[in-house]
Amino acid sequence: MQIDPDVLDVLRAATVDGPALRLNGQLERNLYERVNLALHTVGGVWHRYKKAHIFTIDAADAIAGLLATGEVITDVDRGFYPTPEPTVERILDLAELETGCEVLEPSAGRGAIAEAVAARGAIVDCVELDTARAEHIRAGGYARQVTNADFFSVPVQRRYQRVIMNPPFAGRQDIRHVERALRFIQPGGLLVAIMYGSLTYRGDHRTNDFLAQIWEARGTLWELPADAFPAVGVATVIAVIPVRDVAPPRGMRQITLRPEDFTAQSRAVQQDLFLTDEPTAHGTAPLDGLGYGAPHDGRDHSSRKIDPNTQE
């Protein structure tokens, strides 16, 4: 969205002091609202007592892009949809968090989910591509670690009991992000992700394969209300995917069985002992072990009576 020339003039005349930006002179209401909107899109928040817009990074760096391009790039333009509080509560209820549980949130935005996770007693690490949003999370102090990077460039560490996420939706990115996030979860852990609602009716191979993964993991899909993201108006679902594969025991090497290992027709010992047509080398008569036939001792036991006192 193009910035009006009069708004750019106000921004160029502003005074910058570290994270604080102060507007010079009195502005008429309509002009001030447009200036405030431009500053808000790059992380500026009006502070009443300091009488300045405060950023989590140096204010000059924050507005440099606005002045250089003359454009405002909104969160929606970037594919960023902040998670409303009611939706945050829904996904945390499904995540079954426990105190001390280690949680990863990729694409953490401004920390709406991460802050709520920490409030429930869990330990949360965040990954966020946008520098200003990553700094906003750091300033909040609720995340143990904040990595300012593309999630796909972060080395996989299978250390978390939970991954809770609201990934980008455009271009099937939600599936790509969830599939990668599953690699960060320990066996017995759980992934809870907000995903694009079209996941339930798309018919392409990528979507079908992903739905098959959910089914095989005994995962579930939950339909969110139509107003879950009121500012955007897109249909959404919550995917809950358990990670059930077994962790390898320490000091042991797994033996990989091959198809050729199952081609030989083995002869069980029982075949010789019980299911033979002729007496065996062990002295067993045909079908003796199953209670058929006569004991192979050369004597006729067909009408013999046993004295219960002597067992003879």
Query: Can you give the residue ranges of every domain in the chain?
Result: 5-69, 85-242, 255-307
Which residues lie closer than 8 Å to 125 by C-beta, 6 or more apart? 102, 103, 104, 105, 143, 144, 145, 146, 147, 160
Q: Residue 82: its pLDDT value, please?
A: 73
Q: Residue 299: its pLDDT value, please?
A: 59
> Over its length of 312 residues, how does the chain's per-residue pLDDT go in tens digits?
678 889 999 999 999 999 899 999 888 989 998 898 888 877 788 898 888 999 877 888 878 878 878 776 555 445 556 788 899 999 999 999 999 999 999 989 889 999 999 999 999 999 998 887 898 899 999 999 999 999 999 999 999 999 999 988 766 789 999 999 999 999 999 999 999 888 888 888 889 999 999 999 999 999 988 878 776 667 889 999 999 765 555 666 766 666 665 555 544 444 444 455 566 565 555 554 454 445 555 555 555 555 555 555
Reported as type and span, the H/E element at residue 54 is: strand 52-54
Q: Residue 303: its pLDDT value, please?
A: 53
Q: Residue 264: its pLDDT value, please?
A: 52
**Ordered alpha helix ranges (H), the chain:** 5-13, 29-41, 59-69, 85-95, 112-119, 131-140, 173-181, 205-216, 269-273
In the chain, the amino acid numbered 94 is L
- What does the pLDDT look like over 257-266, one tens digit per residue? 666 655 555 4
Q: Residue 212: its pLDDT value, please?
A: 92
* Tokens coding 184: 């960060």
Q: Are 115 and 95 in contact (CB under 8 A)?
A: no
**Would the pTM of this model clear 0.85, i.e. be above it?**
no
Q: Residue 269: its pLDDT value, please?
A: 45
**Ordered alpha helix ranges (H), 198-274:** 205-216, 269-273
Phi, psi of 189 (to 5 degrees): -85, -170
Q: Residue 280: its pLDDT value, please?
A: 57
> Which residues on neighbouring strands pair with residue 128, listed in sequence order?
148
Could you name the CATH architecture of 85-242? Answer: 3-Layer(aba) Sandwich (3.40)
* Tokens coding 199: 């996941």
State the Cα–Cα distance between residues 256 and 263, nearest whole angstrom: 16
State the Cα–Cα distance between residues 295 and 298, nearest whole angstrom: 8
Q: Residue 242: its pLDDT value, please?
A: 95
Q: Provide the angle, in degrees to the nearest 10, between the axes of the packed helices 205-216 and 173-181.
A: 30
Q: Residue 233: its pLDDT value, please?
A: 63
* CA proximity to 93, closest of 109, 75, 117: 117
First to last CA, the chain: 106
- What does the pLDDT look like over 44-74, one tens digit per residue? 888 988 889 998 778 888 788 788 787 765 5
State the Cα–Cα distance between residues 190 and 188, nearest whole angstrom: 7
Q: Residue 311: its pLDDT value, please?
A: 52
State whether the Cα torsion 125-129-134-137 is positive or negative: negative
Three-state DSSP state, 11: helix
